[in-house]
Structure 1
Amino acid sequence: MDIYDLTIVGGGPAGMYAAFYSGMRAMKTKLIEAKQELGGFMRMYPEKTIWDVGAVGPARCEELIAVLEKQARTFHPTIVLEQEVHHLHRREDGVMVLTSGCGQQHLTRTVLLCAGRGIIDRQKLELEGANQYEVSNLYYTITDVGSFRGQHVLVSGGGNSAVDWANELHDHGAKVTVVHRREQFDALEYNIARMHEHAQILTPYTLHRLHGQQESIESVSLMNTVDGTIHRMAVDSVVVNHGYKRDYGPLLEWGLIQENNGIRVNERMHTDVPGVFGAGDFVDYGSKVRLIAGAFNDAVLGVNSALHYLDPVASKQPSVSSHNVRFRELNRKLRERSRD
């Protein structure tokens, strides 16, 4: 069985970029993803437009995933899909054995955990009869934003996702009402300002009851969280963004320390387990930036630390791609292609 220098657990933005960057560092790399395709949490919002990745955009999530996956495969890492890593065992020779839920084992000298938000469990509405509307016009994510054109859509929530969807829905021709239990929204200021320009904002309100015939919502009752008054409103669809529960499953049995919104790492992405590093939404540290751009930087630091763990004299500041010998042949092919 092959022994890898680095095994990346998780195929979201951090994991995909780590697969590319470890190739730049000439590491023998494997990437293991629990789902049947790469993309991680971004697969929850394939139609969502991303603006804040340097020199890229605006681009839909599915477009960004495709570009990241192509880049991840540059140096031909081994990619394993539909396996969820459960257990870690360290042999006497220091090699780590990762065992997936199906029983398959993977041998590696270091591990980079890019498990994102773990097993995602959406916060669903705890209202009577809510489940029956999930097959019609109650949504917890959107896969075809254009299908809401001409509808009156109620968006419930106050975080980045709720605000982003309110703006996306308006841009695709929907009338939007946003309901939030607090006056303040927890999202980027520019996006909040955009939302206030076109959406009806009802705060502080919560969804109190759903009204409909058979499987479709026709109206909703909203309750004011201050005085308890009820307001009823006709709607065509309801989109709920109340956040997610994080579940890291068996990974927490490895000796990792959970802290705030992730696993504790230091400024070089070291976890509390020797030879195990972290990156992306999976980790938490003092200056953590929860953006895709921040996940890329975490991945670089994690890969560099893994290589330095294997070879203490390896450079912590490798040459950039324009000077990296691994690109010489690729650059030659690109120049030849441009001349054709």
Structure 2
Amino acid sequence: MSNELYDVTIIGAGPVGLFAAFYSGLRSMKTKIIDAEPAVGGKVRYFFPEKIIRDIGGIPAISGANLVANLKEQAETFHPEIVCNERVVNVVKLTDGTFQLTSQNGSIHFSKTIVIATGSGTFEVNRLEALHAENFPEAIYYDVKNMEQFRDKVVAVSGGGNSAIDWAQTIEPIAREVHLIYRGEDFKAHEESVKALKKSRVQIHIHHEISELTGFNNQLSATTLYCKQTKTTKTISTDALIVNHGVKVDLGTMAEWGFELADFGIVVDDEMKTTVPGIFACGDSASYSRKIRIIAAGLHEGPIAINSAKKYLEPAAADEAMISTHHESFIN
């Protein structure tokens, strides 16, 4: 156990937490990052390393893996302490105002303030529920780390959200055929993505869901689809199946730390303050009116949370950091 005290501890090392750590350095705050996953990057690292991300201003297109690598390099500018493979399960405010954070493995951390940037919490993918799905583990993908494995293959993508549509369009140029299977009708995705999908050669099967997988010697060869409207089935040739049925998210014990919670996270005000003084939240962890859940919005909220933490520690401090190009670390 280390008694070292940090100015701010950021729980969560996804894109928002990493950028918050960089900004914390601009504010000369001694910073620690703690994440439950084995490496930084959050869901982007786990689910979308090869997915192209386009919703960050000034970056027309970047892969998830490159985005995480850049954010990690940027976060390390001011040498924060980064701790992975530790899930914080308890937070106690001590009599002197210091927070004591306890990890699942028993490690203890001390911090003057806390910024929560855990997204929606820890996650577990929703597995495909279909007859014989257990027979084809090597043909079913819940995350994609290498697109080349789909070259010249017939690929089915199941889901109707942004991730499913993005993967269908990303794989379409290299696959022989791509099928998008969605049990609904109105895709839950960005309008432009849906328009582009409908203009592509992706074959769309709305009102359908996967009912059975078939093959030989654990090699997938076909997928049976059930139409919820007509109550009929059809079979499509399939070499590989990508499943995007969402994730089960878990705030864990954070729900017991005294916050006011909403349907989609921890309630914050316009300064990213939670209802617990000294604890702030940003990114998908935070909930407020007219919230926009994209990475770019979280990259804005992180600095707000850090500025609020700085003012909590030093009420006379400036409201925000100087522009990074004026910071002494970047001036030759």
In which range does the TM-score fall when normalised by the shorter chain?
over 0.9
Contact residue 132 and residue 214 of structure 2 kept, 8 A: no
Partner amino acid, structure 2, of 1:171:
P
What residue is the counterpart of 2:331 in the other structure? 331
**What are the ranges of 5 or more consecutive residues in structure 2 without an aligned counterpart?**
none
Matched, 1:266 2:274: no
Matched, 1:113 2:147: no
Contact residue 19 and residue 71 of structure 2 kept, 8 A: yes
**What are the ranges of 5 or more consecutive residues in structure 1 without an aligned counterpart?**
333-340
Q: 1:231 aligns with which of 212, 231, 234?
A: 234
What residue is the counterpart of 2:249 in the other structure? 246
What residue is the counterpart of 1:335 in the other structure? none
The alignment partner of 1:124 has SS state of coil
What residue is the counterpart of 1:170 in the other structure? 172
| TM-score, normalised via structure 2 length | 0.95
How many Å separate the matches in 1 of 2:39 and 2:247? 21
Deviations 1:30-58 (A, max 9, x none): 11122221111111211111122122241
How many Å separate the matches in 2 of 1:128 and 1:267? 48
How many Å separate the matches in 1 of 2:189 and 2:135? 30
Task: Note the C-alpha offset of 1:329.
Answer: 4.2
Q: 1:87 aligns with which of 66, 87, 90?
A: 90
How many Å separate the matches in 2 of 1:24 and 1:329? 9
How many Å separate the matches in 1 of 2:169 and 2:176? 10
Contact residue 119 and residue 283 of structure 2 kept, 8 A: yes
What residue is the counterpart of 1:133 in the other structure? 136
The alignment partner of 2:122 has SS state of coil
Q: Label 1:329 to 1:262 Cα distance change in 2 as closer, same or farther (>3 A).
A: closer
| TM-score, normalised via structure 1 length | 0.93
Segment drifting more, 160-169 vs 111-120: 111-120
Question: What aligned pairs does 1:167-246 form with structure 2 within 5 A after superposition?
Answer: 167-197=169-199, 198-246=201-249
How many Å separate the matches in 1 of 2:260 and 2:43? 22
Task: Note the C-alpha offset of 1:10.
Answer: 0.7
Q: Label 1:246 to 1:257 Cα distance change in 2 as closer, same or farther (>3 A).
A: farther
Q: Post-superposition, which runs of at least 4 consecutive aligned residues in structure 1 deviate over 3 A?
A: none
Q: 2:303 aligns with which of 300, 303, 308?
A: 300
Matched, 1:282 2:318: no
What residue is the counterpart of 1:291 in the other structure? 294
Segment drifting more, 124-133 vs 179-188: 124-133
The alignment partner of 2:172 has SS state of helix
Matched, 1:312 2:315: yes
Deviations 1:240-269 (A, max 9, x none): 111111111121111123312222212211
Question: What aligned pairs does 1:137-176 form with structure 2 within 5 A after superposition?
Answer: 137-176=139-178
Q: Label 1:143 to 1:108 Cα distance change in 2 as closer, same or farther (>3 A).
A: same
Could you tell me the percent identity over the aligned residues? 36
How many Å separate the matches in 1 of 2:159 and 2:109? 41
Question: What aligned pairs does 1:29-108 form with structure 2 within 5 A after superposition?
Answer: 29-43=31-45, 44-108=47-111
What residue is the counterpart of 2:29 in the other structure? 27
How many Å separate the matches in 2 of 1:211 and 1:259? 43
How many Å separate the matches in 2 of 1:225 and 1:256? 41
How many Å separate the matches in 1 of 2:168 and 2:328? 46
The alignment partner of 2:296 has SS state of helix
Task: Note the C-alpha offset of 1:173.
Answer: 3.4
